[in-house]
Chain A
């Protein structure tokens, strides 16, 4: 499983790449593996104000729909429209394809997120639990 350095991660397997007051939000390699073949992404509208933990997008695999939760509070300032035509990009290169860019309200919220090595341990535990089942 692939985890990229320099990003921040949530327990729900979203990543955020912080650039000044802006954050690029996407899903992790672990998430796309769990979902399987992604066939649809419902991306948010520009100017949508969103709270930490609220739904920022919905991703549908062949089998089911899954919610993407926003890692921070903010306003959507840019969206990745390419995902409407090519949702499979999230399977192919989850870290190269953001879903939306937020202007971050309060950067203090970022403190609660995991860095790459913490997220790697977090996923390792999940995988071990999965194998014991």
Chain B
């Protein structure tokens, strides 16, 4: 039996094509991935991301613990700020990537990937300091994302709270939107400006409908298909593809989110060593030259020798090109390098290029969560 989000009936109502996504029954699309993708780039889209996990950590030592558990420096952000983090194994591989909401130095909310909730919670408990209150509160929240250039205007029409006051990667835990108490942050996974909203599961269908009503022709529901093409075009990493148990955040180019100068954190030693050696694989952009669409896990070869693999790849709707990311031996990572993508047993030409991906239009300095 698959899990259903509090918005399941809405997906039926809007004729979502339902699929099994890591044991959640969620829409891959409503009217079509391309249409939904373009709507988010040009107007706005609403996503049900209630499957995401939430883990709450409270206690006097909460901040100290997160400093040890996570890669980034949580002490440098203020209360009501959000921060992107990696949670690593001692060998530098990634348990998960997550965003951390800092209520105060004694209280945090960690938002983790649906596919990793149980693994993450076990890992967080296993490594925990004594005296902390740690709870998996995933079922307490529904989560909506409203993304796109029109997102703010649409949401603003439903609240008297001035959304301008929430800057990029900041949040407010108590904002009333259409009569519903919400936590709202200016965050997202599309490369556009927009918000993520956490609320009581029972209120989710009401708010979903109100947002769609308020958006009118400028908004549409968006499924998992376009969620992936949007995040990919903006080069936002996906666990299991760009980062994984066997791919370190340094290899994925996430060095800005790892404080190697921090006192100690799980994985630090291995990552410092990898950083010093400086001969690890690197993640680079490529563009197809020949005909074909690169897909995750396809082999990458040069002169018939395997030199890496595709982490993500697809037809990019905004750029109208077939593009991908490859985790590749460093010596082949320079722009202009010609490589072969192995598509159904055949070699198809591609070349490494820089800065072909979509330029993000998020509003703020923390906009660099790109791989």
Contact = CB atoms under 8 A, between A and B. Distances in A.
B32 A40 contact: no
Contact of B225 (A58, A63, A133): A63
| Interface size class, chain A | 10 to 19
B317 A62 contact: yes
B315 interface: yes
A40 B291 contact: yes
| Interface size class, chain B | 20 to 34
Given A62-B34, A62-B314, A63-B225, A39 B293 contact: yes
Given A36-B29, A36-B225, A84-B291, A58 B34 contact: no
A15 to B, nearest CB: 22
Contacts of A65: 293, 295, 344
Question: Of residues B32, B291, B314, B315, which shows the largest number of chain A Cβ atoms within 10 Å of its Cβ?
Answer: B315
B343 to A, nearest CB: 8
Contacts of B295: 64-65
A98 to B, nearest CB: 19
Contact of B315 (A39, A42, A84, A133): A39
A107 B101 CA distance: 67
B33 interface: yes
Contact of B293 (A36, A60, A133): A60
Interface in B273-300: 291-293, 295
Given A58-B344, A62-B229, A40 B292 contact: yes
B321 to A, nearest CB: 11
A37 interface: yes
Interface string B11-48: 00000011000000000110011100100000000000
B310 to A, nearest CB: 13
A39 B34 CA distance: 10
Contacts of B29: 36
Nearest to B226: A62
Contacts of B314: 62-63
A97 B18 CA distance: 28
Nearest to A61: B33
Contacts of B37: 62
B33 A36 contact: yes
Contacts of B292: 40, 42
A40 B343 CA distance: 13
B344 A62 contact: no
A63 B28 contact: yes
A133 B1 CA distance: 10
B125 to A, nearest CB: 35
Interface in A58-109: 58, 60-65, 84
B33 A37 contact: yes
A63 B33 contact: yes
A42 B291 contact: yes
Interface in B302-361: 314-315, 317, 322, 344
15 contacts: A36-B33, A37-B32, A37-B33, A40-B292, A40-B293, A40-B315, A42-B292, A42-B344, A58-B344, A60-B293, A62-B33, A62-B314, A62-B317, A63-B33, A133-B18
Interface of B: 17-18, 28-29, 32-34, 37, 225, 228-229, 291-293, 295, 314-315, 317, 322, 344
Given A60-B293, A62-B315, A65-B295, 16 more contacts: A36-B29, A36-B33, A37-B33, A39-B293, A40-B291, A40-B293, A40-B322, A42-B292, A42-B344, A58-B344, A62-B33, A62-B34, A62-B225, A63-B33, A65-B344, A84-B291
Interface of A: 36-37, 39-40, 42, 58, 60-65, 84, 133
| Leading 8 A-B pairs by shortest Cβ distance | A39-B315, A62-B33, A37-B34, A60-B293, A63-B225, A40-B293, A37-B32, A37-B33
